[in-house]
């Protein structure tokens, strides 16, 4: 029993000590007067100059610091120099974001709030928000083991109890279940960034139940390719067009899959809340006969978490709904739906 208790306490402390990497808010800034003169790390493989990012660390030891991994855009090259208390990251100055991860900790993505300039220096602070350090966790476990070794096992005394006659409890009739209501709703979706989309919602409930909602604008060209595309903002894409005379063609990709719960509020009125995956991506194709490339516009696009809240009402077999949805709380849309329902057992 003592070993089992110690293991449970260890697991509890371990979960409490899980780390969370985070870029300290407001720490990203230009290093005034810094110029990169390291000729070995002066430009990337495409002869595009590097910018230098000094990543300062808090609550991260030297071993963990040397195990940090850095990733950028598809067209971003990265080289690292490990210093005392910080890492110098040489990266293509056109990079729009940096992903920092550690095999034993978590990962975080940082989007640069302004365009970096070639050869110049910048800095930010990376924080490990661990509740307990490794040394603190080991010290607590040592104290727990000592306490468990010194604590005597409790003595268990068995006392015979006279047999009691069972008490007859009257059986109450079962209450009838609320009828099951299954529904199918077609949604018209409006937003301010990509035009109309269509979707549908289906589910089943008594006083509560579940639903799934799917939607798309039926533009499947580039489906699920957001991560593999070059991520540029609108200004960077326009600069490429102005500098090279590329022809540009835009296409918008919109789709979502959301699973959630539906709960009866009063009478025929129900509330819905759910989450899942959503994408609203503006993809710009640049070409001139010899060059052809697709770019993901980070200013007018987002993909990842999809959230939904809404109201749905049943009037016999007729169903109406109004939902509000979001993609990463950056893109928003309104969904109006009508449908049919069936009542069963």
Please report, for the domain that includes residue 329, its CATH number.
Answer: 2.40.160.20
pLDDT for 176 = 65
Cα separation, 81 vs 257, whole angstroms = 42
- What pLDDT is stored for residue 12 in this prediction? 43
Q: Is residue 305 part of a domain?
A: yes
Note whether residue 141 is domain-resident: no
Containing H/E element for 97?
strand 97-101
Determine contact, residues 28/123, Cβ cutoff 8 Å: yes
Flag whether 149 is in a domain. no
- For residues 107 and 188, membership in a common domain is answered with no
Could you tell me if residue 143 is inside a domain?
A: no
Q: Which of 89, 104, 128 is the endpoint of a domain? A: 128
Structural domains counted in the chain: 2
Q: Are residues 340 and 225 in the same domain?
A: yes
Ramachandran class of 222: left when φ > 0, alpha when ψ lies in -120 to 50, beta otherwise: left
Q: In the chain, where does DSSP find H-type helix? A: 2-16, 62-66, 134-150, 234-244
Q: Are 204 and 96 in the same domain?
A: no
Residue 84 and residue 213 in one domain: no
Q: State which of 128, 145, 160 marks the end of a domain.
A: 128
Question: Reduced to 3 states, what is the DSSP secondary structure of residue 145?
Answer: helix
Give a yes or no: residue 257 inside a domain.
Answer: yes
Same domain assignment for residues 195 and 297? yes
Q: Which of 115, 122, 117 shows the shortest CA–CA distance to 234?
A: 115
Q: What is the mean pLDDT of the chain?
A: 84
pLDDT tens digits for range 277-317 = 999 889 999 998 889 999 999 998 999 999 999 999 998 88
> Do both 87 and 192 map to the same domain?
no
119 shares its domain with 197: no
* Residue 199 DSSP SS3: strand
30 and 120 assigned to the same domain: yes
Do 216 and 86 belong together in one domain?
Answer: no
Tell whether 162 is covered by a domain. Answer: no
Intra-chain end-to-end CA distance of the chain, in Å: 48
Residue 328 resides in a domain: yes
Residues 121 and 229 reside in one and the same domain: no
187 vs 160, which has greater pLDDT? 187
Residue 211 pLDDT class (50, 70, 90 cuts): very high
The residue among 128, 158, 188 that closes a domain is 128
Q: Is residue 169 over pLDDT 90?
A: no
Report the distance separating Cα 339 and Cα 162, nearest Å.
64
Is 224 part of any domain? yes
Give yes or no: residues 305 and 207 share one domain: yes
Residues 184 and 329 in one domain: yes
| pLDDT score recorded for residue 220 | 75
At residue 132, does pLDDT exceed 60? no
Q: What residue numbers bound the domain in which 340 lies?
A: 180-344
Cβ neighbours of residue 311 closer than 8 Å, sequence gap 6 or more:
269, 270, 271, 272, 321, 322, 323
| Distance between CA atoms of residues 1 and 197, nearest Å | 59
């Amino acid at each position: 029993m003592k070993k089992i208790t110690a293991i449970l306490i260890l697991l509890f402390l371990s979960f409490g000590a899980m780390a969370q990497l985070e870029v300290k808010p407001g720490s990203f800034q230009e290093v005034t007067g810094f110029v990169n003169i390291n000729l070995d790390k002066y430009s990337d493989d495409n002869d595009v100059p590097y910018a230098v990012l000094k990543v300062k660390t808090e609550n991260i030891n030297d071993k963990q610091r040397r195990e940090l991994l850095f990733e950028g855009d598809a067209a971003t090259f990265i080289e690292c120099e490990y210093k005392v208390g910080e890492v110098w990251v040489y990266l293509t100055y056109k990079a729009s974001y940096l992903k920092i991860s550690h095999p034993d900790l978590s990962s975080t993505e940082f989007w640069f709030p302004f365009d970096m300039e070639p050869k110049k220096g910048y800095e930010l602070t990376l924080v490990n928000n661990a509740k307990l350090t490794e040394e603190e966790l080991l010290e607590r476990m040592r104290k727990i083991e000592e306490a468990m070794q010194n604590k005597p096992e409790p003595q268990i005394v068995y006392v015979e109890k006279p047999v009691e006659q069972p008490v007859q409890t009257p059986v109450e009739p079962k209450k009838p279940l609320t009828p099951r209501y299954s529904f199918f709703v077609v949604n018209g979706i409006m937003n301010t960034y990509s035009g109309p989309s269509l979707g549908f919602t289906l589910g089943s409930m008594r006083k509560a139940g579940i639903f799934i909602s799917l939607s798309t604008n039926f533009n499947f060209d580039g489906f699920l390719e957001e991560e593999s595309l070059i991520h540029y903002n609108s200004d960077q894409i326009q600069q490429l067009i102005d500098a090279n005379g590329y022809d540009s063609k835009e296409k918008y990709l919109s789709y979502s899959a959301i699973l959630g719960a539906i709960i009866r509020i009063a009478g025929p009125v129900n509330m819905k809340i759910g989450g899942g995956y959503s994408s609203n991506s503006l993809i710009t194709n640049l070409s001139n006969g010899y060059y052809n490339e697709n770019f993901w516009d980070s200013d007018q696009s987002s993909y990842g978490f999809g959230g939904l809240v809404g109201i749905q009402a049943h009037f016999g077999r007729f169903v109406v709904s109004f939902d509000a949805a979001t993609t990463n709380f950056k893109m928003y849309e309104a969904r109006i739906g009508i449908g049919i329902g069936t009542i069963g057992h």
